Every structure is written in structure tokens, then in C-alpha cells.
Amino acid sequence: MAVTIRDVASAAGVSVSTVSRAFTAPDQVQARTRQRILDAAAKLGYSPNPAARSLRGGGTGTLGLIVPDIANPFFPPIVKAMQARARRLGHTVLVADSDEREADELETIAAVSRRVDGLVLWASTLSEDRLRGIAEQLPVVLVNRHVPGIPEVRISLSAGIAQAAEHLRAYGHRRCVFVNASREELRRGKSVHESFEALDLSLAELGPYEPRFETGVHAATLVAAHGATAVIAHNDLVALGVLHQMAKLGIRVPQDVSVIGIDDTLLASVSTPGLTTIRIDPEEIAVRAGDLLIETIGARAGGAGSSGRTSGAGGGTGFVEIGSRLIPRASTGPAPTH
């Protein structure tokens, strides 16, 4: 049914080996012959069978990306960027959703692991041992999770948080509230508290809660009780919940209270008022994570062949840190003068 390399070979009057070479190692075949093969392939509409290719041992040409929840607006831009990047490098991306549950995550990984050359695991909930086990089977890059010996992309919110503190301080705020739902990337580096206290800003912490819209709704009513004039929320979604409830309570944003989100998702840019937020660049994450994974795959493939070459960069573990920055919009403003 489908046209195979053999069809192309006989159409071009060469052997299958030569056709294979014409595609995978163009400089090993004479220009004239190659052209003849390419013409024949084009006329027949030939494209190599990836299954056969990967069976032979050439890898699948596919990168796996496992995220906690595709429906979380933070992830789609990352998926998109990683696809674009991978495509340019001749790879495909297989995205899967672990549904934030450990059992599902394991099942998901099992389902895709044989179809990919490597895996980007986002905020995995798996134990260190299990992750090490997976990383033994195939190249893995962790995002927002640290396991010694496994390459990692870390998102640092320090810069963004520090800028947020400066921003609020400059607007004259003194008492702030942080609506927390335990972000892994906040636990590392300078804490939110440190950043705020360094600027003589008091910071009350609410939670930890679930990172949902309703959490923001709930938290909004507590803010007044704290006498705070600024709220920084776990993410944009929670911040929108705060905005929503503030409006319902007749509290004006930003005149009475300022609100800051995290992630700079689409949500933040289309809310009313526009949400001041801490941006994490999805494109940067996608590109760095993708490149790191490809690099790891390459190292594994190359390093496995030579024996005993454990020294140097061969067994080295990649590490990349992604920064963040404040995007001021309309949800923050001068603190009320009283």
C-alpha cells in the first residue's frame, strides 16, 4: 500500500542502501545519483517509515512532555513553543497530562515512555527513587523538581518577587498579604518573606490552599481583616478570584487594594483591570528544557558506547535556571493615603 524505500530504489535504479544514504548521509552518495533518488522519491511521494527507523535503533525522533494539567493556561504556550522548537530541530513532541495524580502520572509515563527518546517531567509528584528509576531507563529532564543526578530546569521567582516588593514599596504600601498554595519554586532561593522584609514591608501569609479561582475568592474577604493594601497571589487564576471578590465587596482595585499574580498567563492580560503579574517566559522554558533534553539524549547515546569514560562531562548533569520579572499593569497603584 504505502510506498517504501524499495520502490524508490527500483524506480531510481539503485539499491536500497543507496536510497537510505541519500536521505541520511547525503554526502556519501554522488550528486547525480542523489538527485535521481530524490526525484523518484518525490514522484512516488515517499517518506520514511518512522517505526522501521526507530526499530532499527535510530531513536523515535519524539520528545515527551508531561505536564500536570494541560488545561492550566500556563502550559499551552509552553507546549506550543516546545513543539515549534522541536520541529525546527527535526523532532516531534508528544504531550501528556498527568492529571496531578501520582498514579495517573506513573501510568502516563508508562504509556509514552516507549514512544519517545526522552522525557521532560514537569513538577513530578513521584518519589526520588522512582524518578531515578525512570531516569535510568531513558533520558529525563526535570522542571521544578530536584533530584540529584538528573538534569533540571529551575524556575526562579526571586527576581520577580523582589521587583514586586520594590513596586509595592514605591507605591507606598506597607502591609501585604501572600495567598499561598505552595509553589515549589518559591521554596528555593530567597523566600518571599525575605524579599518583602528587606524593604520593610510586612507580609502575612494565608494558606496553603489549592491553586484555584475559589481560593482567591475566599482569600479576598480575609485581606480587609488584615488591614493589608496589597495582595500577591499564588498564580494569576487565584489573583483573578481575588479581583472577582473585591469587585463584589465594593473594594476598588487598585484604588483601595493592589493585586499581583504570578505566571503572566493570558488570564492576566485580559482581565479587568489588567493584572500586574510576575512573568515567566514560556518560550524560554520550552527552549531550554527541550534543548537540555536533546543534549541529554545525545550524551546518553554517545556516552553509552565508550566504556569507562565516566570522567568529564559525560556523566555531568545539566542545570538551567529561568528568571522572572514583574509586568506592571492596572491592578496595582498607589496605596490609599489613609
Among 207, 271, 210, 192, residue whose Cα is nearest residue 236: 271
Contacting range for a second copy; rule: CB under 8 A; set: 65-73, 172-180, 200-208, 255-263: 65-73
Q: Which does 23 bind (CB under 5 to 8 A by kind): a second copy, DNA, none?
A: DNA
CB atoms under 10 Å from CB of 188, counted, come to: 16
DSSP 4: -
Is residue 209 part of the contact set for DNA (CB under 7 A)? Answer: no
**Residues 333, 255: contact at Cβ < 8 Å?**
yes
Which DSSP string corresponds to 6-68?
Answer: HHHHHHHTS-HHHHHHHHH-GGGS-HHHHHHHHHHHHHHT----HHHHIIIII--SEEEEEES
* Residue 297 binding DNA, by CB under 7 A: no
Picking from 87, 99, 43, 98, the residue whose alpha carbon sits closest to that of residue 61 is 87
- CA-CA distance, 294 to 299, in Å (whole number)? 9
Q: From the CB of 240, what's the least distance to a second copy, in Å?
A: 5
Q: Which is nearer to DNA, 53 or 167 (CB)?
A: 53
Q: Which helix (H) or strand (E) holds 219?
A: helix 213-226
Contact partner, 202, from a second copy, DNA, none, Cβ < 5-8 Å per class: none
Show contacts with DNA in window 45-64 (CB under 7 A): 46-49, 52-53, 55-58
Residue 259 phi/psi, 5-degree rounding, is -130, 135
Stretch in the footprint of DNA (CB under 7 A) among 12-20, 80-88, 207-215, 281-289: 12-20
**Nearest CA to 259 among 220, 213, 227, 289?**
220
24 binds, among a second copy, DNA, none (CB under 5 to 8 A by kind): DNA
- The entry of a second copy, DNA, none near residue 244 (CB within 5 to 8 angstroms by kind) is a second copy
Q: How many residues bind DNA (CB under 7 A)?
A: 30
Q: Which is nearer to DNA, 16 or 249 (CB)?
A: 16
Q: Smaller CB distance to a second copy: residue 171 or 213? A: 213
- Grid cell in block for residue 96: 501528556
139 vs 201, which CB is nearer to a second copy? 139
| 24 touches a second copy (CB under 8 A) | no
174 closest CA partner among 200, 192, 206, 204? 200
Stretch in the footprint of a second copy (CB under 8 A) among 63-71, 148-156, 158-166, 305-313: 63-71
Asked if 91 touches DNA (CB under 7 A), the answer is no
Can you list the positions of beta strands (E) in the chain?
A: 62-67, 92-97, 118-122, 140-143, 152-155, 175-179, 202-206, 230-233, 258-263, 276-279, 319-322, 325-327
220 binds, among DNA, a second copy, none (CB under 5 to 8 A by kind): none
Interface with a second copy (CB under 8 A): 47-52, 54-55, 60, 62, 69-73, 75-77, 79-80, 83-84, 87, 92, 94-97, 99, 107-108, 110-112, 114-115, 213, 237, 240-241, 243-244, 247, 266-267, 269-274
Interface with DNA (CB under 7 A): 2, 4-6, 13-18, 20-21, 23-25, 28-30, 32-33, 46-49, 52-53, 55-58
